[in-house]
Structure 1
Amino acid sequence: MNILVFLIPVSLFLGFLGLGAFMWSLRHAQYDDMEGARHRILSDRNDDHPAR
């Protein structure tokens, strides 16, 4: 039972650390794919139908 006194704060710290890293990546535009959008608009490939 004494181990929970150690494990709960450690797990909360790691959870908040992961949340902080995710929020940082959102603020610094890590998920924007401007280069890919430029190439996809010019592509002849139709993703609605499976490849033949």
Structure 2
Amino acid sequence: MKKFKQFLKWIFTFSLNSVLDFLATAKLTDLQKQKLFLAASKQKNQKEEFKT
């Protein structure tokens, strides 16, 4: 069970990092970047609340 949680955490961290890398390199307007970044941050916060 513990390994499974670590695996999920790894996948989540990896996907979040991918999103952030995408935002850093993508040719999006600043407004679009902010919206996506906020969505990613919100998702991360929800995930951390779920952990506790």
Structure showing greater radius of gyration is 1
TM superposition score category, shorter chain reference = 0.3 to 0.5
Choose between structure 1 and 2 for higher RCO, CA contacts under 8 A separated by at least 6 residues.
Answer: 2
Q: Which has the higher helix share?
A: 2
If the length of structure 1 is used for normalisation, what is the TM-score?
0.45
If the length of structure 2 is used for normalisation, what is the TM-score?
0.45
